[in-house]
Every structure is written in structure tokens, then in C-alpha cells.
Amino acid sequence: MTKLADATQSQDPEIGLAAVAALRGLVEALEAVQVDNARSKGWTWKTIAERLGVTKQAVHQKYAHGGLFRRGR
């Protein structure tokens, strides 16, 4: 992951943009895992949204209906 972060500093746009895209994907996956974790522990959509700095509607729309890692809900 350090190499990926370093690549974002590259003067070569091909390398830099590829690194940014990879990091974006990683952040999306980590967010989905943690939203699932919070929901399984009884957190409300409002509380999750506040921690993520988004609206309750945004987080609910993104994850309530079968987000990336939703299990049996």
C-alpha cells in the first residue's frame, strides 16, 4: 500500500491517475465493510452518515439495498 500511495506523487500522469483510481476502489471497499460492521452492531443510518460526513439518505441509498458486502439483510 505504501507503493500505491507513493505512486500518487508520480510526475507521470499514467502512474499517478492509476494509483488514485486504485485507492478510490480500496476506500469504497473499506467503507462498505465498515458500514456493514456498523449496521450489524445496531448503528442507525443517521449515526453512520454522521461519521462519514454525508447525509443519511446518501448512505442509506448506497448500502441499504444490497451494498457490496451486505449479508442476509
16-31 pLDDT, tens digit per residue, is 999 999 999 999 999 9
Tell me the pTM: 0.78
How buried is residue 70: exposed, middle or buried, by Cβ count under 10 Å (0-12/13-18/19+)?
Answer: middle
Q: Is the dihedral of CA 10, 15, 20, 23 positive or negative?
A: negative
Number of H helices, E strands in the chain: 4, 0
pLDDT tens digits, 38-53:
999 999 999 999 999 9
Number of other residues whose CB lies within 10 A of the CB of residue 48:
20
Q: Please answer whether residues 27 and 37 qualify as being in contact, where contact means their C-beta atoms are separated by less than 8 angstroms.
A: no
